[in-house]
Chain A
Amino acid sequence: MTPQDSELHEILAVLRREHQKISLPASAEERLRTAISTSRIAPRSRWVRALALASIVVLVSWTAGRSVRVNSVRHRSRVPLTQTSSGAEDAVVSDFIALPSAELLPAPREVRVWRVRIARGELAQYGFNVPPTKAADLIYADFAVGEDGLPREIRFVR
C-alpha cells in the first residue's frame, strides 16, 4: 500500500463515519404510515396475505392428511391470547409474538388461532429474518388471525 493509498484509506474512514451519521428524517415514517392507511395497499396486501395463509392451511391439511385444529377465542387486546386445549398448550414453545408485517394493522375484535405446518422460509413474508440454511425446515406454528383474515401474531410449537 502506497502512502497515498494509506491516506485515502484514512480519509474514506472519516467519510464513512460522516456517512453513517446520516439518519432518516423522523417525519418520513409518519408519512409512510399515512400513505399506507390512505392508499389501496393495505386492503390488497390484506387480501393477498389472507389468501396466502388460507392456501397454506389447505395445503398442509391435505398433504399431511391431518385436520388443522382451529380454536376460536375472543379478545380485544393484542396480547395475551388465551386459548387452545391443554394438550396443545403442552407443545407450545414460545409466547405469542406480534408479526412485524401486522404492526400497522388495526387491533382485531376477534381472534382465531390456526395451527399450521409451514416452511420456516415462509415466515419472511411476515417480516421475520430467516437464515437461508433453515428456510426449508418445516415447523408448526399457531397464527392468531383477526376477523379480517389477517394474521397478527405467531407462536411456535414443538
Chain B
Amino acid sequence: MSTLYRRHGGLIYRFSLRMSRDASVAEEVTHDVFLTFLKNPGQFDASRGKLSTWLCGIARRIIWKHLERSGRFEPFDEEGDAHSEADDPHMVLSRHETISAVRQGVESLPEQLREVIVLCEFEEMSYEEVASILAVPIGTVRSRLHRAKARLAKSLAGIPVSPAKESRR
C-alpha cells in the first residue's frame, strides 16, 4: 500500500488541490481515495485501465460531492460559451503578468474545464485516460480542452475570464 501511495498519492493530491483550491480538502480527498481503495481493492479492474486513472476517478467523485455540498460547484454549459465584452486592446501584459493572468484564468475556470486542463495539460494524461476519469466520450474531452484554452487565451490578452457569465447547466 505504501508503494502505491507513494506512486499515486502525488497525482491524487495535485488534482484534488487544483479542483478544490484548498490544501486541507486535497489532503482529505487523497486520504479518502486510498481508504476507499483499501476497503475494496477488488473493485479495480486492471483490464479496464490504469490504477492511477481509476484512483483519479474516485478522487473526482469525492471532490464533486464536496463542491456541491459546499455550494462551490459551478455548472458549465456544454452547448454554448460565454464571451467577455471587456476587451481592452491597449492592455499589454508583461511576461510575469501573463503567467499570473493565465494561472488566475485556470483557477477561475468552471470545474468541468479546469479538470480537463489539469489532467490533459498539467498531468499530461492522454485523452483516453481523461475520458475514462471523467466518464465522458473522448470528443467531449477534446471540446472542453479547446474551450478551456480559448478562455485562457482571453486571460492572456488581459481579458478577465468571467465565471459569472456562465449559464447554468
Contacts and interface: CB of A to CB of B under 8 A. Distances in A.
A103 to B, nearest CB: 5
Main SS of the interface on chain B?
helix
B156 interface: yes
A16 B124 contact: yes
A14 B102 CA distance: 10
Interface string A1-35: 00011011001101110111011110011011001
Interface in B8-33: 9-10, 13-14, 17-18, 23, 27, 30-31
Contacts of B30: 24, 28
A16 B121 contact: yes
Contacts of B118: 19
Question: On chain A, which size bracket covers the interface?
Answer: 35 or more
A22 B5 contact: no
9 contacts: A25-B23, A25-B27, A28-B9, A41-B35, A41-B39, A44-B39, A103-B2, A104-B1, A129-B51
Interface of A: 4-5, 7-8, 11-12, 14-16, 18-20, 22-25, 28-29, 31-32, 35-36, 39, 41-42, 44-45, 48, 52, 100-101, 103-104, 121, 124-125, 127, 129-130, 132, 135
